[in-house]
Structure 1
Amino acid sequence: MIFWYIQILLLFQILCGINTSNIPYRIYDMIPQGICKMHRIPLLDNLLTPSDPVQLPSPETGAIFRQSWNSSTFKKFYDCKFYLQAPAHMGLYLSVSKLQLRKNSRGHCIDNVVVKKSNDKKYQFCEIEDVNEVKVFSDDRGWMRVTVNLDSKLALPTLEDTLEVQFIVTVKRKCKDFGYLPCEKDEDDSCISKSFFGDGFFNCPECVDEEGCVIDSEQVLILNPSNVFLSALISLFLTMLFFGGCLWCVYRHRRCITACNSNHIAASNQNNRENRTSVHTSDQIQVELHTTAATFVQPSAPPDDDKDLPPAYDSLFPVTPVGR
């Protein structure tokens, strides 16, 4: 009896092992896997954070990245980042099936998720309003980066509140082999393994693999800070190059500029002297003309014969000789 019991128990373990091995997803708990970063010195983040992408080995195997934080555990971490890489010549589907992050009273995200695709486009969001809503991102080159940014300085409203994220990653390929079904109509490279259909996880952009899915078509595209920084750096470099060239030209031709300034000053002084001389000469000419005019224009008086002179004193008062 004990022997049969042992045989049944071993058979049950073997069956459980078979069922476990047939699960088409590899589970990644982001804190135990080291995906979420602890608080460190910012300069050491790039050195201490592994940047090797998570390789999905085949189209038959997907990945689930999940994590939840309570009021005490989320204070230890400030962001979680992981890279995804599909097999050669294949693409990726990334669906956000669970997302419970914080927003302030103005509707702005306190915590957020940023998805970066291989074309350097970034999408930022922080909530899923409907329980059955799903955000799905597609990349034909098979490369993505996902970052969960947590504001650990701001405490959760209550001790019972939690933060939660869950991402489903699926490899897509060309629809030419048996055992694959398309996710998108009229797309020859949108096929995933049919084992993902009806498994309870949303994999396709149009939710053709499951029922009761709501598509979130409103995704916020954000600018790439690296491109903005690169543009600003190039503009600064060109500006410095332009001003440097101007200063070099001034320094190279400083003698010519000094000589030109001296010649200009000398010419200005010469012109001033000539102007003063011409003014003085014109004054003299005016004086000579005025004098000449005075010599020719003289008052004319009648001759002495025409004047009625008064009678002489002797005629009016004759003198009588003394002795007469």
Structure 2
Amino acid sequence: MILHVAEFIYLLLLLTIYFSEGAFHKKTCDVEGKYKVCTLDQEEICHPFKKADGVKISNLESSAVIVKSYLPFTYGTQLITDKNCIFTIKTKDKDDGLFAVIQNINFRKNEDGCVDYVQFKKDKGFWSDKFCDEMDRKTNESEIPNHLYSEFDPRGNLETRIFISQQPIKQDEHLRITIVYTPYTKCSKLDRKNYREVTPEFCIWKDYICDNYQNCAIMDCDDEIQCVRSVENDGIGTQVTIGAVTTIFLIFIIFVTCLWICKKYQKLCWSPDCAGPGATRPSLTSETERVTSASAPTEPMLEIAVPAGIAAGKDLPPSYDSLFPEHSNTTST
């Protein structure tokens, strides 16, 4: 009788854990763009009773997987027991490899080591060292080398353990984790039109290059290092843009206002009609005289005007008619 009661209590406890962790919240992963996104509240990744089934990657194109916490574990989050998620991500073809890169993590540690942690295990291998502490590849001032906080398996089979302790979370702690799993294969097997090499030997799907996720996990292999980075929207870029647009708009308003004031009070003139009374204009009389003098016929060259004073005091030379009477008569006839 006591045994049956103990079994009932144990079953009740398991059901409480099952429902409290939201295992029924969602059973399958979502597809977001070129990634399949899974969270720790899904049975494929974190089953409350057994090792999760994990995800099988069927092809190399748009099939990478993101595993992350559904929401950050923050102050007030209550875990009845330790959260121990063990799952496997593997490729369909064993000739294809698999990268696993931690994009960001904030797991607790103390003087004894990691309180919460992530571990990887290759196919037929051993568990890696525990990853914990705080790291974010997108916000760190110095770039984290791609071969740190990562693992890879040439046979395309990686087992992952995500452990979160039931220890109470402090008020300033925000536990979170994001891991990207990307399939890769030898470039000699692929069409280079749709794939890009990350090493002289290995290639990944072209859409994973420069997408703000670190996909490659081998030393001297980086799919984001030569990308043109967009400025992180921390508010500075937006403030600069708004300030520039506002300044240009104000200058335009001031310019239009000045033109309106000048026009209203007649401070600016662009035509002779608004010139002041002191403005000089060519007179009609002088213009008429200029035209008349230009069109008047000139006097004959032989007629010389002699001043009256000179003619009265001296004898004049003989006239043309007196010198050449015959010529004058002939002309008259």
Give TM-score scaled by structure 1 length.
0.50
Distance 1:170 1:74, change over 3 A: farther
User: Counterpart in 2 of 1:99?
Assistant: 105
Secondary structure of the residue that 1:49 maps to in structure 2? coil
Distance 1:22 1:150, change over 3 A: closer
User: Counterpart in 2 of 1:79?
Assistant: 84
Amino acid at match of 1:102: R
Contact 1:183/1:209 (8 A) holds in 2: yes
User: Counterpart in 1 of 2:8?
Assistant: none
Count of aligned positions: 179
Q: Give 1:137 deviation, angstroms.
A: 1.3
Give deviations 1:134-179, integer Å, cap 9, x for gaps: 5231101111111111110x21121x52110000010011213221
- Mapped to 1, the partners of 2:175 and 2:78 lie a distance apart of 8
Contact 2:106/2:135 (8 A) holds in 1: no
Q: Give 1:79 deviation, angstroms.
A: 1.4
Q: What pairs up with 1:219-234 in 2 under 5 angstroms?
A: none
Q: What pairs up with 1:19-168 in 2 under 5 angstroms?
A: 23-33=33-43, 35-38=45-48, 48-60=49-61, 61-67=63-69, 68-73=72-77, 75-76=79-80, 77-88=82-93, 89-104=95-110, 106=111, 108-123=113-128, 124-129=130-135, 131=140, 132-133=143-144, 134=146, 135-152=149-166, 154-158=167-171, 160-168=172-180
Q: Give 1:112 deviation, angstroms.
A: 1.1
User: Counterpart in 1 of 2:208?
Assistant: 196
- Mapped to 2, the partners of 1:208 and 1:139 lie a distance apart of 17
Secondary structure of the residue that 1:195 maps to in structure 2? helix
Question: Structure 1: where are the runs of 5+ without partners?
Answer: 1-19, 39-47, 214-324
- Mapped to 2, the partners of 1:199 and 1:74 lie a distance apart of 35
Q: Give 1:207 deviation, angstroms.
A: 5.2
| Bigger shift: residues 161-170 or 116-125 | 116-125
Contact 2:45/2:54 (8 A) holds in 1: no
Instruction: Name the larger-Rg structure.
Output: 1
- Mapped to 2, the partners of 1:84 and 1:184 lie a distance apart of 22
Query: CA RMSD for the aligned pairs?
Result: 2.6
Contact 2:101/2:214 (8 A) holds in 1: yes
Amino acid at match of 1:108: G
Contact 1:98/1:167 (8 A) holds in 2: yes
Amino acid at match of 1:94: A
Q: Give 1:208 deviation, angstroms.
A: 2.3
Q: Give 1:184 deviation, angstroms.
A: 2.4
Q: Give 1:74 deviation, angstroms.
A: 5.4
Give deviations 1:179-219, integer Å, cap 9, x for gaps: 1122224xx3x210111001110001345211389xxxxxx
Question: Structure 2: where are the runs of 5+ without partners?
Answer: 1-29, 228-333
Contact 2:195/2:205 (8 A) holds in 1: yes
Distance 1:115 1:75, change over 3 A: same
Runs of 4+ aligned residues of structure 1 deviating over 4 Å after TM superposition are none
Amino acid at match of 1:151: S
The structure with the greater share of residues assigned to helix is: 1
Give deviations 1:247-297, integer Å, cap 9, x for gaps: xxxxxxxxxxxxxxxxxxxxxxxxxxxxxxxxxxxxxxxxxxxxxxxxxxx
Contact 1:63/1:170 (8 A) holds in 2: yes
- Mapped to 2, the partners of 1:156 and 1:73 lie a distance apart of 7
Q: Give 1:73 deviation, angstroms.
A: 3.5
Amino acid at match of 1:175: C
Secondary structure of the residue that 1:122 maps to in structure 2? coil
Q: What pairs up with 1:244-263 in 2 under 5 angstroms?
A: none
Amino acid at match of 1:111: D
- Mapped to 2, the partners of 1:184 and 1:95 lie a distance apart of 16
Give TM-score scaled by structure 2 length.
0.49
- Mapped to 2, the partners of 1:204 and 1:172 lie a distance apart of 9
